[in-house]
Chain A
């Protein structure tokens, strides 16, 4: 049973790391702010989500598990709002250059 849980952790955290790497590559390679942000939000949401999912079987109890999930939720909220704000700033800048 513990081996199955450990396997779940390895798969989850590895998949999460994959999305972080993919997001970083996107951040470096994509041409403009909006597409770069698209790559970044994938890393934030999916990558962190998978890592938290992978860590859940290792949690010491319900309290720890809830803490892990709330870390993910808080990161979700802040990433969503931050990307909205950056996108808004980008659009305002664009309309200032090309009215």
Chain B
């Protein structure tokens, strides 16, 4: 029964992936990609990786889907004017993809049994950190440097998007999609849903220490609520030059960096936590990161400034 479900799921994912590639309309391709992400999240649940599933659904499918949808909407006027890639390009892309797929498949199939793993070691040392969720342990204790850099990369990506603004509009207001759609039903949703979504986002961040969840998943929910409010026109998008906004953007990475640097003085190494204080420090860092991630992802989806700041 379970095997049948898994085979069906895997089959559906492969078909959907093929369809996403071959469909010509960008909009349909993006929609198929979003559904693909949700199905992949289901696969992660079946593999008992709920943390990865949550991230895939929230980031891989949700936020990326929103980014791609806005890009598709912006491309729509010019799409018919662009010639589809020729047969040579398609073949080359197909060959490269086939090589990568074959490589990944070979790696997965040729792994020695049992596969080399640090998991028992990681699980054995986890109680020292006071955390109950091994994924959070890896992200904030064993590989904290990666996590820190990843948050900085996110801010750099936003700087990249903002740089697309015209010079005189620098620090102005993002246009947020080609158009926001004022609609009384959407306004209703934008007033009803945010309290629920914000609570869920905070819960995901808080519970991440011991259960599946964490800063990225929580932050993505904050982003979704913020985008809903902005799209419905309940609150306007903020000017990108706003000082308080920019402080919010860097609050998480900066706090994490400060905690990391204080590790030199208190625990003898960068990003080391003083014994007994690791869990509170991680939760404080995660809370700030959740807020920063939420704001950063929201502004990424809102796009570069396209209107001048009101005087």
For A85, give its contact among B183, B192, B193, B196 (CB under 8 Å).
B183
CA distance A40 to B255 in the complex (A): 47
A77 at the B interface (CB under 8 A): yes
B181-211 interface (Cβ within 8 A of A) = 181, 183, 185-186, 188-189, 192-193, 196
Hey, which chain A residues are within 8 Å of B193, CB to CB?
Answer: 77
Of chain B, the residue at the smallest CB distance from A81 is: B189
CB distance from B232 to the nearest CB of A (A): 10
A34-73 interface (Cβ within 8 A of B) = none
CB distance from B191 to the nearest CB of A (A): 11
- Flag if A81 contacts B196 (CB, 8 Å): no
Most buried by B among A77, A78, A81, A88: A81
Q: What per-residue 1/0 map shows which CB atoms of A71-91 lie under 8 Å from chain B?
A: 000100110110011001000
Of chain B, the residue at the smallest CB distance from A89 is: B181
- Flag if B196 contacts A74 (CB, 8 Å): yes
Q: How many residues of B sit at the interface, in one of the four size bands?
A: under 10
Of chain A, the residue at the smallest CB distance from B181 is: A85
Hey, which chain B residues are within 8 Å of A81, CB to CB?
Answer: 185-186, 188-189
- Flag if A77 contacts B183 (CB, 8 Å): no
Hey, which chain A residues are within 8 Å of B196, CB to CB?
Answer: 74
CA distance A84 to B186 in the complex (A): 9
**How many interface residues does A have (CB within 8 Å)?**
8
Of chain B, the residue at the smallest CB distance from A88 is: B183
CA distance A77 to B185 in the complex (A): 10
CB distance from B76 to the nearest CB of A (A): 15
Hey, which chain A residues are within 8 Å of B192, CB to CB?
Answer: 77
CB distance from A41 to the nearest CB of B (A): 14
CA distance A81 to B181 in the complex (A): 13
Hey, which chain A residues are within 8 Å of B183, CB to CB?
Answer: 84-85, 88
CA distance A74 to B193 in the complex (A): 9
Hey, which chain A residues are within 8 Å of B185, CB to CB?
Answer: 80-81, 84-85, 88
Hey, which chain A residues are within 8 Å of B186, CB to CB?
Answer: 81, 85
CA distance A78 to B193 in the complex (A): 9
Hey, which chain B residues are within 8 Å of A77, CB to CB?
Answer: 189, 192-193
CA distance A82 to B189 in the complex (A): 10
CA distance A84 to B193 in the complex (A): 16
Hey, which chain A residues are within 8 Å of B181, CB to CB?
Answer: 85
CA distance A78 to B185 in the complex (A): 11
Of chain B, the residue at the smallest CB distance from A73 is: B196
CA distance A93 to B189 in the complex (A): 23
CA distance A88 to B183 in the complex (A): 9
CA distance A81 to B179 in the complex (A): 19
CB distance from A36 to the nearest CB of B (A): 15
Given contacts A77-B193, A81-B189, A85-B185, 15 further A-B contacts (CB under 8 A): A74-B196, A77-B189, A77-B192, A78-B189, A80-B185, A81-B185, A81-B186, A81-B188, A84-B183, A84-B185, A85-B181, A85-B183, A85-B186, A88-B183, A88-B185
Nearest 4 pairs of A and B residues by beta carbon: A84-B185, A81-B189, A81-B185, A88-B183
B interface with A by C-beta (< 8 Å):
181, 183, 185-186, 188-189, 192-193, 196
Of the A-B pairs whose beta carbons lie under 8 Å apart in the complex, a sample of 18, sorted by A's number, is A74-B196, A77-B189, A77-B192, A77-B193, A78-B189, A80-B185, A81-B185, A81-B186, A81-B188, A81-B189, A84-B183, A84-B185, A85-B181, A85-B183, A85-B185, A85-B186, A88-B183, A88-B185
